[in-house]
């Protein structure tokens, strides 16, 4: 399973990249706005910087803002020109599906976002999306089961032989990451806090404490 970070924050991207486990980045207009990035020129520049930080061969999703076919295609082409790492993120709407099919024909990678059902997952796969982003946290928010959705889509894609990669998005916790891995997600995209949460275990802390205590006692014995 690949690890993407879901942020436009450069420090968070650098921190995850330094861990040596980062395979890519996803962003969206609200994550860009959160970092105070606005205006077409600044947004395109920010995407380029993200691509340079993560290095070649690591996918960076950049989202279109238009909701009509022509607008999405024009925006997507402009985004794809920024850097070979760019994957054009397109919403799960009728014109979005048309745009996915078009980008697939001309060899531009895509990420179909705002996916909440197996039916939508089938449409995106048929249109040739590179990645499919089911929002598991937001499904959980309405008291449905986001992880069950990943499991269901994974089963359908296996049976039908669809090649679209399942990218579990709207991840909120380290447990979501583990559950997505078990449910067959190909990729998880998560905030840095969820990635860092994977490190936590009280027995690791106790073990480290015990080791340093043993070293301290050992040194004292040597001195005697």
> Torsions phi, psi of 194, nearest 5?
-70, -40
Contact assessment for residue 55 and residue 13, using Cβ atoms and an 8 Å cutoff? no
Q: Is 6 in the site for ligand G3P (CB under 6 A)?
A: yes
By C-beta, is 102 or 131 nearer to ligand G3P? 131
Spatial separation of the C-alpha atoms in residues 197 and 191, rounded to whole Å = 10
Q: Is 137 in the site for ligand G3P (CB under 6 A)?
A: yes
Q: Is 62 in the site for ligand G3P (CB under 6 A)?
A: no
CB neighbour list of residue 135: distance below 8 Å, 6 or more residues apart: 114, 115, 116, 146, 169, 170
> Helix, strand, or coil here: 88?
strand
Structure tokens at 182: 């078990």
Contact assessment for residue 116 and residue 139, using Cβ atoms and an 8 Å cutoff? yes
By C-beta, is 6 or 59 nearer to ligand G3P? 6
User: Which one among 53, 138, 173, 174 touches ligand G3P, defined by CB under 6 A?
Assistant: 138
Q: Is 54 in the site for ligand G3P (CB under 6 A)?
A: no
Stretch that binds ligand G3P, among 11-19, 115-123, 165-173, 193-201 (CB under 6 A): 165-173
* Catalytic residue ranges: 89
The residues binding ligand G3P (CB under 6 A) are: 6, 26, 28, 135, 137-138, 169-170, 172, 189
């Amino acid at each position: 399973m690949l690890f993407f970070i879901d942020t436009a924050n450069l420090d968070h991207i650098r921190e995850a990249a330094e861990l040596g486990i980062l395979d890519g980045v996803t962003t969206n207009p609200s994550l860009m706005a959160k970092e105070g990035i606005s205006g077409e020129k600044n947004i395109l520049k920010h995407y380029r910087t993200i691509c340079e930080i993560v290095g070649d061969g690591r996918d960076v999703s950049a989202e279109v803002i238009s909701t009509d076919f022509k607008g999405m295609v024009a925006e997507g082409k402009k985004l794809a020109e920024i850097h070979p790492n760019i994957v054009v993120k397109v919403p799960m709407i009728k014109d979005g599906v048309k745009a996915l099919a078009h980008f697939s024909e001309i060899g531009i990678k895509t990420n179909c976002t705002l996916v909440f059902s197996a039916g939508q997952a089938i449409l995106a796969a048929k249109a040739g999306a590179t990645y499919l982003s089911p929002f598991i946290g937001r499904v959980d928010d309405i008291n449905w089961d986001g992880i069950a959705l990943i499991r269901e889509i994974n089963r359908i894609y296996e049976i039908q032989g669809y090649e679209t990669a399942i990218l579990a998005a709207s991840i909120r916790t380290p447990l979501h990451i583990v559950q997505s891995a078990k449910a067959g997600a190909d990729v998880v995209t998560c905030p840095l806090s969820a990635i860092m949460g994977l490190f936590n275990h009280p027995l690791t802390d106790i073990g480290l404490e015990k080791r340093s205590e043993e070293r301290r006692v050992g040194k004292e014995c040597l001195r005697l």
